Amino acid sequence: MREYKTQMEAAKRGIITPEMKTVAEKECMEPEKLLELVAKGQVAIPANVNHTSLSAEGIGSGLKTKINVNLGISGDCKNYDVEMQKVNMAVKFGAEAIMDLSNYGKTNTFRRALIKTCPAMIGTVPMYDAIGYLEKDLLEITAKDFLRVVRAHAEEGVDFMTIHAGINRRCVEAFRREGRKMNIVSRGGSLLFAWMEMTGNENPFFEYYDEVLEILREFDVTVSLGDALRPGCIDDATDAGQIAELIELGNLTKRAWDKDVQVMVEGPGHMAMDEIAANMKLQKRLCHGAPFYVLGPLVTDIAPGYDHITSAIGGAIAAASGADFLCYVTPAEHLRLPDLADVKEGIIASKIAAHAADIAKKIPHARDLDKEMAKARHEVDWDKMFDLAIDGEKAREYFESTPPADRHTCSMCGKMCAVRTTNMILEGKKVEFCSEK
């Protein structure tokens, strides 16, 4: 039995855990430096003691930007085999985290299989699962019932949980007073708001937050403080409700750290580009440097079917400005449960955003693959380019769909390829087109 309960407790006591060693190696960072960041709460290593298949990852200051893939069944789409295919795809393309957002029936069979085999961090939103798990209507669920679901997920091996503890009565008052175009778009936030309004009670996750933390500490689960009042359209961004909740999340962050529970803070969903950087700085200030996890942000509201692009634009800006963890968005966002093709598009778009941000943040070795790609392009080495590409299969498929007569070019430029022309001149060769056979 280990001598510490959580990664944060170990770090505060100067103990370098096996998970810290794994993360330090992945990040090319000295374990002692990583330990300091974990002790301060600036880095989280979500690692439930019961998730034995986990390959630990760090999220936070000075580390590579990580991405999360949402999946799970709904009442209209109940095929767990397809969801497991999405899991395998996410792992193949390097997603560091998977959130099971299943909201239909008994979801723990799938979740247990996921935790047993998946090396990625696993996250859940217990609020989503409460109705199916408890088999009760929302109005019949008690505060203690919600805590039962949190414990069940923790016992199963979930590494991080979204807990919407910040939407208390003070935040609801700010939300009601100001008004919004889209009101509440967080599924968990809307359910809690409805429960609070129907029962007249305080948010149970806020009222019993210390008990939630005790459960999370027991299994070393990282709390991901959910943004129930995140903006659902760009006109609602940075309003009183969002900021009021963010202030509450800052206080909840410190309370979690006091109990050695690791924290991530969740951030806005829709936001104009010129507001993103300021929001990242505000979150870091109000939440004391805790890792920031953002959904997007989506920088425009008029691109259904292409929201993986609107999200990648916002995600790149957010991560370059301080966000640490990007939740992917697929082309199916706002339209349907994503299929396998949608999931792939969402993962690739998010990976591009994260990598671009890491270059801007000067994360160690972030440019290494880009330098290798430049060398391969200079040498017109197509096989090497495909090996280096985020999605080499697609790159090869595109190239070979219209094969060039000369493999040292592509079908767009042919022998007028700028790289070929310059290489030939620098090698002392003559460039001719009409006389070449």
Q: Which residues contact 437 (CB under 8 A, 6 or more apart)?
A: none
- CA gap 331, 335 in Å, rounded: 8
- CA gap 35, 13 in Å, rounded: 10
Residue among 370, 383, 407, 391 at smallest CA distance from 93: 391
Q: Which residues contact 434 (CB under 8 A, 6 or more apart)?
A: none
Can you read off the two tokens belonging to residue 322? Answer: 């301080």
Element spanning 407, H or E? none
The DSSP call for residue 61 is T
| CB-count exposure of residue 367 (10 Å: 0-12, 13-18, 19+) | middle
Please count the other Cβ atoms lying within 10 Å of the Cβ belonging to residue 117. 12
- The CA-based angle 263-264-268, given to 5 degrees, is 150
- CA gap 325, 318 in Å, rounded: 9
Q: Which residues are annotated as a binding site for [4Fe-4S] cluster?
A: 410, 413, 417
Radius of gyration, CA atoms only, the chain: 23
From residue 172, give the alpha-carbon distance in Å to each of 177, 195, 241: 8, 12, 7
DSSP 3-state of 292: strand
Q: Which residues contact 335 (CB under 8 A, 6 or more apart)?
A: 304, 305
Q: Which residues are annotated as a binding site?
A: 70, 99, 128, 164, 186-188, 227-230, 266, 270, 293, 334, 410, 413, 417
8 Å CB contact between 284 and 267: no
Can you read off the two tokens belonging to residue 321? Answer: 């400005």
Q: Which residues are annotated as a binding site for Zn(2+)?
A: 270, 334
Please count the other Cβ atoms lying within 10 Å of the Cβ belonging to residue 169. 12
Can you read off the two tokens belonging to residue 30? Answer: 């000295």
Element spanning 263, H or E? strand 263-267
Residue in the structure block whose two tokens are 């280990």: 2
Q: Which residues are annotated as a binding site for substrate?
A: 70, 99, 128, 164, 186-188, 227-230, 266, 293
